[in-house]
Chains A and B, each alone.
Chain A
Amino acid sequence: MRMGDTAKAMWWLVYKDSLRELRTFGVWPGMLLLGLATVFLLATQLNMSVEQKTSLAGGLLWISIFFAGTVALERSFASERDSGCWQTLCLYPAPPSVIFLAKMATNTISTLLLECVLIPAFVVLTDVPLLSRPLPLLLVVVLGTLCFASIGTLLSAMTAGLRARGGMLALLLLPLLTPVLLASAEATRLILVDEVGPALWQWVNLLAVFAGVFTMAGAVLFEFVMEE
């Protein structure tokens, strides 16, 4: 398959998923509300000075993102199965790795959308200066989201046909995300305390390695997950 055809095949899948979501709003409202509710509950418990909040904010923000983002991940393949489109997806004239990358792109878009709402909400509710260094924060957010979407997409496909798929996905996903959570939270904390130096880049590099490894592993292993 030529590069242009691969990109086109990927684009149509992302377009299909985005269009369906825009027509039905089956995932995004629930995901956003769950994210906001989590941030609100966490903010009510952060009755402390801004310095103390700053040391905790990174971890709490990423926990909220991963927790609410799991809703979008869970639906990304379950909706295909529920609407009887799984077989059609398997017959899509593109290699399984392309289908994986397209689904991962859709999940990345959903999670980035969630972050666009949660990060300002977190700033407003906690007074933590998260947006003081926007560019380094953007880099950490994009890399953390890629890690989350890559491993989450693979696990979502694996658990889509199971009875207790939501619980199973969270059970498998959250432990696997622990190193990503630690790296993202620490990088966010360093940005908050204005330590944009070698220590931050060390965590950013680690996130980039995780994103690369998870994406490659997902693209290779997805072929076996799609078999019926």
Chain B
Amino acid sequence: MFAANDHHLSATRFAIPTGVLALVAVASWSIFFVAPTEATMGDVQRIIYLHVAVAWCGLAAMIALGLCGGAYLVSRRLSWDFWSQALCEVGCLGTFLTLVTGSAWAHEAWGTWWTWEPRLTSSLVMWIMYCGMLLIRSSIEEPQRRARVGAVLAIIGVGDVPLVLMATRWFRGVHPVSPEMDPTMRVVLLTSLVSFTAVFAYLATMRRRQLEIADQVVELEAIA
């Protein structure tokens, strides 16, 4: 029975990263070889397929972080905090990539690397909040207290999500709002969204597993 389980586990461990890698390969191929070249900006516009995908991952991670925070405060199970830590790290990465790719696109489109535009400002605020959460979490030793403080911060952080999403509508800015796109471009964008969501979900799952194992090691060391 153990041999069968081990075989199943190793197959799953191999299958999931392979599937994620295949999705990334398909998305990359679509971005560079399937998507038509945009008339005004040329090849630089291809950044958008990556930018939108990582921006979505950063926002989704914050929403999931808030939900995990709420779940921890209700159940007081540390497993929710492992999810929070993993999502915080992955969300921080996603938002950082959003700022970098957005800045590269803005340099070509607007002639500047950065402008204090509402969508950009609210995204930067989100990234600083992710960094702040990680910093605070790393400065608290006691696991339950760290989880509690992290959960409260995550719930506050979710408040930034509507600001990022609605920034272009509530405050007048220069960031594009749902621009008209060629149907092929839409399909490529969707492919990129799905593949990067899979990458970030995989990273979060792996990190959560790592944190769980680290916690088990600490418990075993305490017993021994």
Contacts and interface: CB of A to CB of B under 8 A. Distances in A.
A8 to B, nearest CB: 28
B152 A221 contact: yes
Nearest to A162: B139
B139 A224 contact: no
Interface stretch (A18-26, A62-70, A170-178): A170-178
B156 A175 contact: no
Most chain B Cβ neighbours within 10 Å, of A175, A178, A213, A227:
A175
Contacts of A179: 122, 125, 163
A163 interface: yes
A-side interface mostly:
helix
Contacts of A227: 148
Q: How large is the interface on A (under 10, 10 to 19, 20 to 34, 35 or more residues)?
A: 20 to 34
Contacts of B124: 175
Contact of B128 (A162, A175, A225): A175
A162 B138 CA distance: 11
Interface in B138-165: 139-140, 148-149, 151-153, 155-156, 159-160, 163
Interface string A205-228: 000000001000100010011010
A159 interface: yes
Interface in B113-150: 121-122, 124-125, 128-129, 131-132, 135-136, 139-140, 148-149
B203 interface: no
A175 B126 CA distance: 8
A9 interface: no
B135 A158 contact: no
A187 interface: no
A162 B125 contact: no
Given A171-B132, A172-B136, A217 B155 contact: yes
Q: 9 tightest CB-CB pairs across the interface, nearest first?
A: A175-B128, A172-B132, A175-B125, A171-B132, A178-B125, A221-B152, A162-B139, A158-B149, A224-B148
15 contacts: A158-B136, A159-B136, A162-B136, A162-B140, A168-B135, A168-B136, A171-B132, A172-B136, A172-B153, A176-B125, A178-B125, A217-B156, A224-B152, A225-B148, A227-B148
Interface of A: 151, 154, 158-159, 162-164, 168, 171-172, 175-176, 178-179, 182, 213, 217, 221, 224-225, 227
